[in-house]
Structure 1
């Protein structure tokens, strides 16, 4: 259930899950063909990974098959479920949001003001806020961009309104021109304000990544983007990114029912002597 602040821990999901209507382990008595046995034995003994055989790895659960990849660790092959990056990025954004609210409040309440000009400024106040704020925005954009790249076929031709090929389409073009054509429905008709919020996520991310000193004739070169970041509505951005993704792939982003919450924090400890 979503908590009162609207950013609950979500479920991470695999890229591919195949659900069955039978108990898979109960089928262990099925004899595999001889060539499959030979391939399996060769794979176990070799130093090759599964894709070198042109094969997929599948982890078997009671009524689920989940695609995975292998990795060499300490000379042994381990198997890792392949997670949908959209859910990882989105989860990271939420996990950043938990503490950035606290850091923002601390920044606003503990910074010097006209009433207490003698207070010593603490550089960590804005630094702590900026770290998690930027992490939240980067991961929201990462969720949206990875979602677009999953939906859009690799050989898709991007065409502008004049019929010309677009060699390097923007993320905004993918989200609000290409995907609506592929899915045959438009998010902006479903939620016009949501389109504005999602586009603002992209704009805010680009402003931070390409942060440049202002051309104004003052010595404070980054005050305007920093002010915008402090004013930014992170809850709205998180909500609308989820709304967009789930509009085209229902329930991809879902609250986890594990009863626990996860969040990033900045831990302070003494250096090793």
Structure 2
């Protein structure tokens, strides 16, 4: 295994390690078509009373098709996800809607950080200790491959979020609607579809970052569509393992952050709280 001293730094600027997981979106109260609207401001004397009132509200809302609950926050109102009822308690649950894009990206950052710690342990382990080195590399492969997959998963999920429900585009003479556009290749998604959806062309504006994203996509595909590549020393996955081991995540993370910022400035915000 080739040695690497890669650390998560780029041009003397530390790479993101953790981001804030914001709710999916706020909504404009004045632009949502409603037939019935009711605001509830409840003077609460105890946590138990608040819990009881909230359960009654959620129970009633669950019976009304098309009804939703909003929560007023300092940065604007948000829609609440309603998670049905618990089989154990029969309670209704609701909370601001999650943004899977940020969860995937943050998970990737965590796994990549873990992979770098594991890599350090691998390099410090004596070469003669084959078995211990094997177990450490298994941990590295798990963390690094998960980081790669979730980095690209965040990109794919973000693309899907940007697609309007009624959007149609012609590709190679064939008309494709949203349900088809969600399953085409990443190259076509970013190079062909997004410029028509947003009026902004990331690959043209950021060719270096786009090249890095395509490199990462190739590695992701090799990991998820695993193929044996027989080497002269009779191993099947030595080339893939070496390439994953020597992946410089410090250049890929900023490229993907740049992609998010290009289409939605402020979406990615570093979380410095411990």
Judge same fold: TM > 0.5, yes or no: yes
Partner of 1:14: 23
In structure 2, relative to structure 1, the CA distance for the partners of 1:48 and 1:173 (3 Å cut) is farther
Match of 2:93 among 40, 56, 78: 78
| Contact in 2 for aligned 1:58/1:65 (Cα 8 Å) | yes
| Contact in 2 for aligned 1:6/1:235 (Cα 8 Å) | yes
In structure 2, relative to structure 1, the CA distance for the partners of 1:149 and 1:65 (3 Å cut) is same
Q: Aligned pair 1:225/2:237, yes or no?
A: no
Partner of 1:159: 170
SS of the residue 1:64 aligns to = coil
SS of the residue 1:69 aligns to = strand
Residues of 1 paired with 2:143 and 2:40: CA distance? 48
SS of the residue 2:152 aligns to = helix
Residues of 2 paired with 1:75 and 1:247: CA distance? 44
Residues of 2 paired with 1:135 and 1:52: CA distance? 40
Residues of 1 paired with 2:232 and 2:130: CA distance? 27
| Contact in 2 for aligned 1:111/1:121 (Cα 8 Å) | no
| Contact in 2 for aligned 1:198/1:241 (Cα 8 Å) | yes
Residues of 1 paired with 2:223 and 2:21: CA distance? 27
Match of 1:138 among 149, 166, 169: 149
Partner of 2:131: 121
Structure 1 residue 216: Cα displacement? 4.5
Structure 1 residue 18: Cα displacement? 4.1
Partner of 2:194: 179
Partner of 2:79: 67
| Contact in 2 for aligned 1:19/1:63 (Cα 8 Å) | no
Structure 1 residue 68: Cα displacement? 1.3
Residues of 2 paired with 1:45 and 1:251: CA distance? 34
Residues 36-75 of structure 1 mapped to structure 2, 5 A cutoff: 44=56, 50=62, 53-62=65-74, 64-71=76-83, 72-73=85-86, 74-75=89-90
Partner of 1:234: 249
In structure 2, relative to structure 1, the CA distance for the partners of 1:183 and 1:62 (3 Å cut) is closer
Match of 1:147 among 153, 158, 168: 158
In structure 2, relative to structure 1, the CA distance for the partners of 1:46 and 1:155 (3 Å cut) is closer
| Contact in 1 for aligned 2:112/2:147 (Cα 8 Å) | yes
| Contact in 1 for aligned 2:69/2:80 (Cα 8 Å) | yes
Structure 1 residue 63: Cα displacement? 5.5
In structure 2, relative to structure 1, the CA distance for the partners of 1:50 and 1:146 (3 Å cut) is farther
SS of the residue 1:53 aligns to = coil
Q: How many residue pairs are counted as aligned between the two chains?
A: 235
Match of 1:95 among 110, 122, 145: 110
TM-score of the superposed pair, with normalisation by structure 1: 0.76
Structure 1 residue 104: Cα displacement? 1.3
Tell me how large the CA RMSD over aligned residues is: 2.9
Residues of 1 paired with 2:218 and 2:189: CA distance? 15
Structure 1 residue 7: Cα displacement? 1.6
Structure 1 residue 140: Cα displacement? 0.7
SS of the residue 2:167 aligns to = coil
